[in-house]
């Protein structure tokens, strides 16, 4: 298992808001659930001086807000970055009931 990041899955109440948006802090919305997200082993996870999540990919440091693209059809977060070519990775949300 790779490293994990603690995030919030934020949901609205309208039909098009049933897919979560993932943030580092709870959003001002009707539902904001704490979740743990697993990142691939080739991604390093740390912390910036301000306490926010530092995600290192190929030696470059990113903040969550700089990487987060959207949520895929399985409600998993998708990140993107550019290293000469646009790259994407889908992350796994850990189900607390499975532990």
Domain boundaries along the sequence of the chain: 4-98
pTM over 0.85: no
pLDDT tens column, 4-36: 999 999 888 665 667 888 999 888 888 889 999
CA atoms within 13 A on the CB side of 67: 26
CA 9 to chain centre: 9
* Cross-strand partners of 80: 88
CA dist., res. 21 & res. 8, Å (int): 8
CA dist., res. 75 & res. 91, Å (int): 10
């Amino acid at each position: 298992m790779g490293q994990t990041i603690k995030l919030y899955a934020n949901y609205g109440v309208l039909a098009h808001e049933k897919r979560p948006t993932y943030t580092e802090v709870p959003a001002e919305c009707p539902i904001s659930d704490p979740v743990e997200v697993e990142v691939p082993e080739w991604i390093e996870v740390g912390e910036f001086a301000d306490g926010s999540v530092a995600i290192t990919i190929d030696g470059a440091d990113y903040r969550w807000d700089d990487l987060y693209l959207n949520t895929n059809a399985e409600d998993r977060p998708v990140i993107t970055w550019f290293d000469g070519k646009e790259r994407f990775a889908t992350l796994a949300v850990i189900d607390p009931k499975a532990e």
